[in-house]
Every structure is written in structure tokens, then in C-alpha cells.
Amino acid sequence: MKIGLIGDIVGKSARLLIAQLLPQVKSQYQLDFVVANGENASHGFGLSIEHCNLLHSYGIDVITGGNHSFDKPEIKAYLKEKSQVLRPHNCSKELEGSGMYITEVCEEKVAVLNLMGHFGMPHCDNVFICARDSVRELQNAGIKNIIIDFHAEATSEKRAVFEMLKGEVGAIFGTHTHIGTDDLMIDKGSFYVSDVGMCGGFDSVIGMQSQAPIERGLTGTNRAKFAVSESEKVIFQMIVLEMSEGRVQWAKKLRYIQTVGWLQSLEATKL
């Protein structure tokens, strides 16, 4: 099966670019299944029901979340009802929804697991224990194709979970920092990248207009409010890979910048 993994979607410009490019990418790479992080899709903070439905209509099968999963109160009902919309699995059990989704793709069972790290993030249960136990649960159910969106600030946390689980899962893709990394690799059949990178305004600070973070840096205050970038340059970043029986055969990173076009793709190092 061929799978697409999209990082943090930030605001309207990112949604529009995905609507334009994703059908092209799905056709070119014959993708069977697409996962995307949508917790910043609605004005940079959270995910509305309207935008959730739009992302699904563009060809995204499962939408994962993170520290902004509950920013839009309306999404709580959807988290209860719509299993293809996830929030981190190690969030409090008092919260709505789940961080695990199981389906069938190309006659193989596939599981998507959404996790959140600790450094600089809201309080959540131990991500290492949750990751270990959730993977064991899926394996005991006979599921080999396991995809993890690890939403975390610290690359060390992401890397440590990969070292713990490589050879046990199909793919771990990092989200949250909005900055794409070039460390994509396949080790013991498991794919890893510290961060896919955002889809959003390129002339920005992590998809937000630059003025507010600059003022915060200059003054040390939070009086300037973040707003989604209105940059004419919008970046699209995505991982495409092929996986079967829980092992990844190949993977590459795709990048596109509006006004520039497609950039050279980066192949995953196979170890």
C-alpha cells in the first residue's frame, strides 16, 4: 500500500493549497491512504467541523491532533462521533475522543496512533508507556501496519520513541514544530522523520505573521497576538511511502512552494 503523511496544516492558505495539490500527488504516487495533522487548520488554532469536512473532501482519510485539539469547542462532539478525527492517545481519559484509529487498506489492517510529547506541552500521560502499550495492543490484535503521528516539541523525545519501537511499527512521523527536518530514514523496516514540516505561509514564523513573534522577542511580553500568515508564498510538505506487512520499502519527502513550484524531493536513507 502507498501512504501519504502531511504535517501541520496552518490556516486557509494551507487548506487551499492542499485542495489544489493533494489530488495530483495522490494520482502521481497512487496513494491509497492519507493522514494529516489538522490541529492548526482553522485560523491557526484548532479544527472546526466545517474545515474537518473540507479536509476529508480533499482526500485526507485520517486527521490527527495535538496541543490545539480542543481549541474549537464544537469539535468535542465530532471527536466522540467521528473515529477518523484523533486527539493524542495519551491525553487524559476524561477528554473526548481517541488517539487510535483502525481500518483496512488494500486488504491489510492499518492503525493510526496519535501521541503527544511532554517538553513544552500540556499535561498528558507518559508517552513512552502509552506508545509501548498501544503498539503491543495492536500487535496482539494482529495489526502490523502501524503509523504514529508523534506531536512533540523535543526531537529527543521523538527519536527515543523511535529507538524503542523501530522494527515494531511501520512509520513514526513527527509534527508540531512546523519546521521540516532532513533526517528521514528507514531502519529495520520502520520509517522515521523528526518533523514533516508544516503546510502554511512560507514568509512567516511557523505559519504565523512575523510581527507578533518579533515583538515578543524584543519586549519579552505576550501583548502581541498571533495571526495566521497571509504570505503569497505557501509551502506544502508531505511524506509518501510504500508499506506492506508493517515494513516500509521506500519513502520520500515532497515540497512545493507557491510562486516557486516543486522542489527537489528527498529520499529516505535506508539503513
Q: What are phi and psi of 99, to 5 degrees?
A: -110, 20
Average pLDDT over residues 23-28: 98
CA-to-CA distance for 154 and 138, rounded, in angstroms? 26
Residues 9, 13: Cα–Cα separation, whole Å: 9
C-alpha span between 93 and 220 (Å, rounded): 35
**pLDDT for res 72:** 96
- Please, what are the domains in the chain? 2-270 (3.60.21.10)
Site of grid cell 482553522: 42
Question: pLDDT for 142-186, tens place per residue?
Answer: 999 999 999 999 999 999 999 999 999 999 999 999 999 999 999
The predicted-structure confidence for 27-74, as pLDDT tens digits, reads as follows: 999 999 999 999 999 999 999 999 999 999 999 999 999 999 999 999
Alpha helices in the chain (DSSP H): 11-29, 49-57, 75-81, 127-140, 155-165, 211-219
Mean pLDDT computed over every residue of the chain: 96
The pLDDT assigned to 80 comes to 87
Whole-structure pTM value: 0.96
36 torsion bin: left (phi>0), alpha (psi -120 to 50), beta (else): beta
pLDDT of residue 82: 80
Q: Write out the catalytic residue numbers.
A: 68
